[in-house]
Amino acid sequence: MLQIFRQPVFLISVAVIAALVTAGSVYPEVFEQAAGTALDRTTEYFGWFYLLSVFGFVAVLVYLACSGYGNIRLGRADSRPEYSFFSWVAMLLAAGFGVGLVFYGMAEPMSHYLNPPHGQMEGLTPEAARLAIQYSFFNWGVHQWAAFAIVGLIIAFFQFRKGEPGLVSTVLRPATAKLAKGRDQIGGAFDIFAVVATVMGVATSIGLGVMQINGGLHFLFADISEGIVWQAVILVALAAAYIVSTITGLHRGIRVLSTFNLALALGLMLFVLIAGPTRVILESIVQGIGDYLQNFFVMGMQTAVFEGSTWAREWTVFYWAWVIAWSPFVGAFIARISKGRTIREYIFGVLVMPPLLACLWIGIFGTTALYMDMTAGAGLAAATDENMTTALFKLFAVLPLPQILSVLGLILIFIFLVTSADSATYIIAQMTDRGSINPPLAKRLIWGGLLAAICLTLIATGGLRGLQAGAVLSALPFTFLIYAMIWILFRELAADKKIKPE
């Protein structure tokens, strides 16, 4: 047990995180303003860089999948996947989407319907509704998963093909091989950077998720107030759930919860598809996918530099920065659950299945909300603009069985938060345990408790937004690290005669 506290990566990571949380808690307004200003400047001057980089990640993944490298297994030649395809996809969704898609899957199309992207047209029109679905598909589509997929693929290749620890520093070791002195320190710095970015990102996401659950409960049950008391109760229940899941391990914890949640999500989608405007939903999904594919390159590179629009920075660039900042955690988790799959199967699964399910979720819930607003005057666009956390429940209110749908929606959100926190706890413990594929339970429990404590502190002091902006800032330096990781991957592939493409 004492050995845990003697590891430099663990100790330094905790110290840096404690300093950042203290700053964000003691001076929340100052920290939020400073981090927010820095983030605004970063997205303003490096937005083009994020757009180009994520597009490059997509191109690299497509090349690897279509080349002879696609036949390589992430593991020994005779290794096979640990999890069924359904369970694997369920865990991908749990770690990569989490609660975000549940809320934004309906709220984002309504936001774009009210305020169309790049100011291309008037809001609240049929044309704006079509554009809203198109851009929502894009923001939650292939590009978003490219950063997760490329980092996960590289870590999985080194972890299972090369037998190395599942760490960012392991992948980057060839780049520092010529340094006789300081190589271990540089590698440790990479790992500390990944741990701090992961903890900051996950803690703020959990905190915001808790506040969203509180908002939903308040909407459904007037006696439940919005504030620190109920948020603390929700957080304690959440922490208890993900710590129990952590104790049970990957196979009996995250896998079971993720599989159940995917089944629940599919059930909700099917019900809304049948209870809602079925024909309109199906036509909207087909049309939206067509618009998305037709404008794939344009949307992926659009900066609106001459139009003077800031929409790309506020939406797409922020999304790309957010997923890059999350890629050390999500990528490492995807790597951990992908042993035994071929590179082609891996890329298909990660780059196609989650975006496809996102399009279905957005297409069903977003289209239903748009239809209700346009034909029945449901006021969902205005409700979303007023309070995004309750928008989904207001949609349920105009559908059959609203109370049952709302309860199921809360269960879905809660379990997504549990699986996100559990998978993060597992990967953070792995990062601070020299990349162990099965980190000690004690370390997982320590990080689980620290995450809950950090969330509660930030919620109580109002420091969530500042720390969230700080977490997204880490995307810029990590993008350069991803470039280095890609270069090293290709060098390793080319050097290995056994896996040279045909």
In a domain, 373, yes or no: yes
At 164, list the tokens: 């190395």
Cα dihedral 408, 411, 413, 417, rounded to 10, equals -170
| Cα–Cα distance list, 421 to 90, 96, 137, 203, 334 (Å) | 15, 11, 26, 8, 15
pLDDT of the residue at 249:
81
Residue type, 247: I
pLDDT of the residue at 387:
83
Q: Distance between CA atoms of 471 and 92, rounded to whole angstroms?
A: 21
Per-residue pLDDT of the chain (502 residues; tens, 9 = 90+): 445 545 788 888 889 888 888 888 888 888 888 888 998 999 999 999 999 999 999 999 999 999 999 999 998 888 899 999 999 999 999 888 878 888 888 999 999 999 999 888 899 999 999 999 999 999 999 999 999 999 999 999 999 988 888 888 888 877 665 554 545 677 788 888 888 888 888 888 888 888 888 888 888 888 888 888 999 999 999 999 999 988 888 888 899 999 999 999 999 999 999 999 999 999 999 999 999 999 999 999 999 888 888 899 999 999 999 999 989 989 999 999 999 999 999 999 999 999 999 999 999 999 999 999 999 888 899 888 888 878 889 999 999 999 999 999 999 999 999 998 999 899 999 988 888 888 888 888 989 998 988 888 888 888 777 877 888 888 999 999 999 999 999 988 887 655 444 4
DSSP letter string over 467-486?
HHHHHHHTHHHHHHHHHHHH
In a domain, 309, yes or no: yes
Neighbours of 26 (CB within 10 A): 11
In a domain, 2, yes or no: no
CATH number at residue 240: 1.20.1740
pLDDT of the residue at 180:
45
pLDDT of the residue at 2:
47
In a domain, 458, yes or no: yes
At 62, list the tokens: 């497509």
CA angle 115, 120, 121 (to 5 degrees): 70
Q: Distance between CA atoms of 167 and 175, rounded to whole angstroms?
A: 14
What's 346-378 look like in SS3?
Answer: HHHHHHHHHHHHHHHHHHHHHHHHHHHHHHHCC
Give residue 112's domain range: 7-499
Q: Distance between CA atoms of 369 and 170, rounded to whole angstroms?
A: 47
In a domain, 1, yes or no: no
In a domain, 75, yes or no: yes
In a domain, 450, yes or no: yes
Q: Distance between CA atoms of 53 and 84, rounded to whole angstroms?
A: 32
Overall domain count for the chain: 1
Phi, psi of 496 (to 5 degrees): -90, 105
In a domain, 390, yes or no: yes
